[in-house]
A = this chain, B = another copy of it.
């Protein structure tokens, strides 16, 4: 067992050439004859040679590793994002190292620290729910390691950001509810200091204004959008004397749980209360009634982010600061369809 790994010198010895020739042959250097190259590649295969990436990285000061920090793992959206990043990265011969913060700023800092230690060439990150301070990203900037922020991005920091058009999404969701006849819509969302939530709220208000409705503070409810919060929200609504007739909840899981409890207590969805969620998680298609929700292509976000990062890595490390905004769709399903149309599948409203 544990047989020694062959090195370029082992190959060199076998072929009676120098180490550099092997090295060059293996990296397709132009000044190596086809014959030699072929012989080398064949022998390498035969002997099970694998480049020692540590030696290589030590020499090159380049790791071909990209760090990815995400706030959670178990959502379709995140999986898609990772797939998108993975595809682009693999294509460009980069590895990705994934860390998930479980929405904890402390863990996010530990992961960032570790990725710095591992000397990733670049970083793609989405902030944890309670991340306020961004100083754990400073060392990357100091060392010229480019960072691309995705989805949950810092409002103030410099850098490249890839987000969906949350404002448009919020606007469209709300507009849809209004068009279905809702007159008192509640917006249930999370900490407004986060771009994703503040933008959706902006869109919400804009839609109300655009339809000559006034926004009253009681229409806004801030929670952490968890499974538990869904139960609490339902209870709160059940206790209200002036109940809403529409809910725009910015998370499918939370919206689903809330809907479940409203139904259990005799509220009819969508007749009494129409509901719109956010994310197009699988769950939105399985609850009864199916949940109207906002869909956005995680894979696209991942691809755009990775492409951008890798460009910065290879071409010009242009440390300019800009934001890439991607579209999203409103998927209209049963939970908000008060006015009946005949629909076979999801109705899609491009934002």
Interface residues of A (CB under 8 A from B): 1-3, 5, 48, 50-55, 57-58, 63, 72-76, 78-79, 82-83, 95, 97-98, 100, 102, 114, 116-119, 139, 141-144, 227, 253, 256-257, 260, 263-264, 282-283, 285-288, 319
CB contacts (< 8 Å) of A283 on chain B: these are 282-283, 286
Residues in chain B near residue A288, CB distance under 8 A: 260, 263-264, 287-288
**Shortest Cβ distance from residue A83 to the other chain B in the assembled complex, whole angstroms:** 7
Shortest C-beta distance, A64 to chain B (Å), equals 10
A119, B53: Cβ atoms closer than 8 Å = yes
Q: Which residues of B contact A119 (CB under 8 A)?
A: 52-54
Among residues of B, the one whose C-beta sits closest to the C-beta of A56 is B54
- Distance in angstroms between the alpha carbons of A155 and B249 in the assembled complex: 46
Docked pose: A78 CA to B74 CA in angstroms: 8
- Tell me whether A286 and B263 are in contact in the complex, defined as CB-CB below 8 angstroms, given that A3-B143, A319-B1 are known contacts: no
Check A1/B73 contact, CB under 8 A, given A116-B50, A287-B287, A288-B263: no
Closest to A143 in B: B2
Beyond contacts A48-B139, A74-B78: 8 other A-B pairs, Cβ-Cβ < 8 A, are: A1-B141, A2-B143, A53-B119, A73-B78, A74-B79, A227-B286, A253-B286, A286-B287
Report the nearest B residue to A58, measured CB to CB: B54
9 nearest A-B pairs in the assembled complex, by CB-CB distance: A2-B144, A54-B58, A74-B79, A54-B57, A54-B54, A1-B144, A73-B79, A256-B286, A98-B98
Contacts of A50 on B, CB cut-off 8 Å?
A: 116-117
Contact A3 B142 (CB under 8 A): yes
A351 CB to nearest chain B CB (Å): 24
Instruction: Give the CA-CA distance A257 to B283 in the complex, in Å.
Output: 10
Decide: A227 near B95, CB < 8 A? Known: A54-B54, A55-B58: no
Complexed CA–CA distance, A74 and B116 (Å): 27
* Complex alpha-carbon distance, A3 and B140, angstroms: 11
Chain B residues within 8 Å of A286, by CB: 227, 253, 256-257, 260, 283, 287
Interface centre among A5, A116, A227, A286, by most chain B C-beta atoms within 10 angstroms, is A286
* A52–B118 CA distance with the chains assembled, in angstroms: 8
In this complex, which of A76, A78, A143, A257 has the most chain B Cβ atoms within 10 angstroms of its Cβ?
Answer: A143
Residues of B within 8 A of A79 (CB): 72-74, 100
Shortest C-beta distance, A48 to chain B (Å), equals 7
Residues in B neighbouring A82, C-beta threshold 8 A: 73, 100
Complex Cα distance, B194 from A229, in Å, reads: 39
Query: CB-CB < 8 A to A282: which residues of B?
Result: 227, 253, 283
What CA separation (Å) do A128 and B55 show in the bound complex? Answer: 32
The 24 sampled A-B contact pairs (Cβ below 8 Å) are A1-B144, A1-B319, A2-B144, A3-B142, A53-B118, A54-B55, A72-B79, A73-B73, A73-B74, A73-B78, A73-B79, A73-B82, A74-B75, A82-B100, A95-B97, A97-B97, A98-B98, A227-B282, A227-B286, A253-B286, A283-B283, A283-B286, A287-B287, A288-B288
B58, A52: Cβ atoms closer than 8 Å = yes
Residues of chain B within 8 A (CB-CB) of A63 are 54
State the CA gap A74–B283 with chains docked (Å).
Answer: 12
B227 near A5 with CB under 8 A, answer no
Closest residue of B by beta carbon distance from A252: B286
A308 to B264 CA separation, bound complex (whole angstroms): 46
